[in-house]
Structure 1
Amino acid sequence: MSTTEHHTPNETPQELAKLRQQLDEAQTQLAAYEKRIQQLETEIAQKQTQTDAVNSRQQKIIETAQTLLDIQSAEELWPVLSMAVQQITNSDRVAAYLVDTAHNKLQIPYTAGISENYLQFIREHYQETPAYQANLLKTVIIDNVETDPRTAPLRAMMRREQIGAYAVLPFSTPDNSLDGVFVAYRDEARSFTPEEIKAGETLCHIGAFALRNIKLLQETKENLRRERQLNEITYTLSSVLDLPTILSSVVRLATRLIGADAGLLGLIVDEQFITYYPYNIPSHVNLRPSRNKKNIAWQIVEKQDSLVLADYAAYESANEKWVKVGLSTLAGAPVIAGDNCMGALILFNFWENYRQFAERDVAVLESIGRQAGIAIQNARMYAEAQQRANALAQMLNRQAELDELKNKFIHNVSHELRAPLGIIFGHVELLNQTLADDLQPEQRQSMEIILRRTRMLANLVEDLTALLAAQTQEFRRDNILAADLIYSMLADYQILAAEADITLRADIAPQLPMIQGDITHLRRVFDNLLSNAFKFTSAGGSVTIRVWAEGNDVIIEVTDTGSGIPADNLKYIFERFYQVEEKGYRRPGTGLGLALVKEIVEAHRGHVSVSSRIGQGTTFEIILPGVPPDESDA
């Protein structure tokens, strides 16, 4: 600034000096004012920059919040949120950490620029350091990793990871449904501003709510999906009565519904062992029926309670073959209907798709187990009803056959009786015509014919009567000494054996159990067998009776050395009226003898069988239940 001096005649030198001084002071004050103006302008510019930064952060938060609220999956959320946190905190790298309090583990769903070695170190440090766990969910600001004493346990690893500073930002919701942190890392040691931290916290808070909403949405969708599939299972189990279809459907539908890797249904059979129905089990795993009460299926059945294993290999009763195939987690529930536990429904996960079973998984599994139990019970009842219906149908068919046989029986009896009665009548009439006191040879012959035919007719009637008794009547139940019965039969046939030149042998074991039955009908059984044996055995042959005990049963064999029975005829010989022909010749008889043997033996709760070889002879074996010692003593 230039000045022009104006001197007036009245100004003195002192006044001029004073004026100059005032002028210098004014110039100094003006310079100060100009400097202050410049400072104010700088401060205003800085304030504007800060305001712009705040506005930019706020705008970023708003934009990110809008984007996060539109996202419907965690896979989409993590990259968007991580990028926003990285930008708003001026960080170089980020990582998200979620706390799994149930299993004391740290999950890391997303990282950007962090090595796996560092992440593994953080996981291990979390599990081994309770203090680190307690402080992990709080806001922590480390402006310099090398100088801050709080980083001492992590400093060496952070130095290798080239981390200079970091900020821990809580990532959680007030209802504790989500606990975790976002960590913003800087390569250089630079201080975080309060505005950066505040904006980062706000963004993480919004992100936590967005992730919670995503999980709620996914849970809702999953519940709807499970509800639909559970309804499908209910419909399938209620509409199918075929047990194999039910067993295969239950384990398949349950495995798919819960999202397990594989499953099996163990079903109790005869209250002794469990047989398995697998789904997606490795083919080389052998699932044989098990009697081992220590295995998991049996334990679930005996306790009638669910079982969940987070680490199968650590289970005390773990099976080595399952450990080898990589079984990691297991959930099982009883298959139950009322108080009746019929088996166990078990689902598996393997290590390559490691996943824990949640409480809701077990609840669904228990529900399916109850539905499966009711379905299996219904199927069994239906099968039993079908069996009864089939048995009834067979009985009705049998009754129809019996009616038909009865008709044939009446017809045959009429036919068989008609001729003998006619002959008897004719010869009796002839005798009545003779007046002589002594019989003539012809009369004597007629009498012999009458006696023979009468005897044959009587035998036939007796056989028919016994056959009807075996079919329709209750026999007497007397205690009988088996040895005495056989010895009496031997006595009856000794004379016949001598006359026919046939050797009659007996091999009777001592101390045989007593048998229970009707001695008259049992004598008829052995009478028919011995008669047949003598009928088909030539002179010089033999008939042998062997009697012994096996357990509480009495075994009786009648063996002859006769002509034998062709193999094709053996399956028919116990049928009524069936007779074996020998070279077109049929031996005399009614064909009721062996049918009578079978029906009387079976009426005594026994069993008869036959074996034969042509030219060598035939053996009939009869098994009769003995009387228990305590009952025989009574």
Structure 2
Amino acid sequence: MLQAAAADLTAELDLEVLLDRLAERAAALFHVPAVSVMLWEPEGEMATIYASRGLSSAYVAGQRIPRERAEQVLATANRRPFIVDLRTDPLGDRDLILQEDLYNALAAPFVFRGRLLGSLNLYGKGAPRKFTEDELRLAGILADQMAIAIENARLFQETRRRADEMAALLEVDRQISSTLDLPRLLELIASQAQQVLQADHSDLYLIEEDGKTLQAVVSIGEYALDVMATPLQVGNGIVGLVAQTGQAEMVNRADLDPRAVRVPNTPDHPQALLCAPLVSRGQVIGVLALSRMGGREFVQADLDFLVGLARQATIAMENARLFQAAQQRAETLARRTEALSQLVEFSRTLATSLEMETILDHLVRRMGDHFEAAVTTVALTSEGEEGDPPFRIAAVYDRTGQLSQEGWAIPTARSPALAHVIRERRPLFIGDLALAPFPDLFLETEREAVSCLQLHAVLILPLLCQEEAIGAVSLWMRRIIRRFPDGELDWAMAVADQAALALQNARLYAESQQQAREMAAALERQQELDRLQRQFIQNVSHELRTPLALVQGYVELLHAGDLGPLDPTQHQTLSIVADKVKVLARLVESITALQEIESGPLTLRPLSLVEVAQTALKGVQQTARRAGVELVLEVADELPPVRGDRARLGLVFHHLLENAIKFSPDGGQVRVRLSADSQVARIEVSDQGVGISPDQQERIFDRFYQVDGSATRRFGGAGLGLAVVKEIVLAHGGRVGVESQTGRGSTFTVELPLAPLQDADIES
């Protein structure tokens, strides 16, 4: 049920819907009267209720929990689920808690990569709620999965919001600019300036990121290659001064200007130079420079035009740059959205499987294909004997096909790199294994495998479950990687976190299945032992019955004198033997009765308890007379019939009466009362005997239990009579109990279901 609920919830990416469903599912799953889901905003200091069940609107709107207070409480609970008494240690507004009639709560924190996101709170309302260890554990599992789901939903919302913003920005860019391809735009600017101003050369310089270098990005003219190959310095030369001051320059004899810097391989002849700065947001980003050869000069109108063109060019360039940036962001967002979709699909797949091998195979293939890794492996921590490898290579995805052919293992079960990641609980990324900063992280055999398989980069991610590293996933690439695209490592860690949780769940499931199998085997063995025990008792009873009957017959003949006269001593001795034989015979009868109750079906018919009681009273009349005990039967008016087995219920009366007579004093009275209400018939057998102490009343219905178990006990019996009574009554769907005080007698009460009204015919 928990697995199904978690799978349904983790697939939801709408945060509001997710939290509301969580509150609903938690209330049903844990059977609590009230639930709240509280979250902190990433930079917020107060937790608020986002979803609830069973709480008033005033409580939901008013309850707040400071982050500092929550962190203090969670620190003492190691950030795991805990139970808090809200009356003595309230979290939040005490008055609201009292008004809501809340007593205690099970709080399960949402913790994602060490960050507290919020908590799932299950309340005891109207009275304290007793939460079990299983509920604490299940709440922790649910909270761990929901922390990932909440973070995913938040990331999805943020991604969607940013995508909407970028779409709006791109629409504005398209409206204000006709060309958004920056290289093409720069060429158009330089070309347009050259054509309009009839220049021999048109060069567009941009300031490099260092803020000191001017690099020609477009050059049109005879010496274009030389210009492109010659960077200029800001503040040096006429172009450099324009870049430094932001002031346009028109120099019709640049060849004579001492500020000028000649580009190598260009002719030393009269040259007119026109320069306009490219200014964006008050900062010079480049210079547009035009030159005429052969003494052709520029005029002020040319300069004004170039300045205006530079201004428009700057706007277009800025738009183009924004467009490029927007494209890059959109691509990044698209990658993140795709990664998030893959993450959701991965989570959904994991949620539907509890098979370790399936989870491992899905993990290595999804990660390996996503990163185009040559080899992907999963290593799990091993709890073997001392000296055994610390890891077990649980899954390998070899896209090269060479790993098994060459017999390589990468990483090995004793890999120092794996040990480092497990110990630090942080990812290890080496973009160029040839320049690995930690040579001790790899064994010699691993370095040989890296060389032979032509592997150049590795990413090892810890598999963390509840902040405990249970293994690591390794991705080995055949390309040098300087850095991963934005969000890639976060995606990989999210996949690893979900896989770790799924693997832990699968491990727990496998352990529970193994325990179930062991318990089933133990139960089967116990059932076989019980069967053998019953068979043994049945065989012994059967074997004893015939010789006992024979012994009893001869004892009666001897006692009656049919086999010759007896002196008083012999007569007394024979009486003792006769009594012991009767005790043994009754023991065999009781054992046989128990066996028949367990194995034989009941013959249920409507019958009168009065008739059964009267028959039983006649059967013990002689025993009662010898014991000096009076038998009394009291019957309520119009006693309805019960549905029962006449022979078995006769045994109930017989054993209760025999037990009452045995413990009654000479001159005492045993009273049988028969009554009924709308649902059950009631049998009460009362005596005036020695009574039963409270500590023994629960055990007197156990087989072979004697109230007085000493070797010199006053009353005989094998301790089976009341056990027979209990088995028969339970088989009829009834109940049996006793009320007694030491020295003041006992009353045994049996309740039996009444026969249905349609069963009107009573068995006679």
TM-score bracket, shorter-length normalisation: 0.3 to 0.5
TM-score, normalised via structure 2 length: 0.35
More helix by share: 1
TM-score, normalised via structure 1 length: 0.41
Instruction: State which structure, 1 or 2, has the greater radius of gyration over its C-alpha atoms.
Output: 1
